[in-house]
Amino acid sequence: MARIQTESGSRNVQTDTYKGRQIEIATGYDAISDKWQAHIYIDGQKLIGKLLCHSMNEAFDEAFRAAQAEIDQRAQF
């Protein structure tokens, strides 16, 4: 995997490909929760839910792991 940062600022986005599927992670700081929210998209479809993390890097790392697990799980069916 070789993540590419496609947006930075109040909304930060990284993309990568895993097993031929396009993963996009969008994250930004949420002042209400004092956390970084991460939203996961696989092939343009948003997964339900969001991750809350302590840093932007943690948000990207955790979200990419979750996306890979989701892709692996879907491949079993």
pLDDT in tens, 46-71: 998 889 999 999 999 999 999 999 99
DSSP line for the chain? ---EEEE-SSSEEEEEEETTEEEEEEEEEETTTTEEEEEEEETTEEPSS-EEESSHHHHHHHHHHHHHHHHHHHHT-
- Return the pLDDT at 77: 66
- Return the pLDDT at 76: 79
Residues 13 and 7: beta-carbon distance below 8 Å: yes
Tally the residues of the chain. Answer: 77
pLDDT in tens, 3-26: 999 999 999 999 999 999 999 999
> pLDDT at residue 36 above 70?
yes
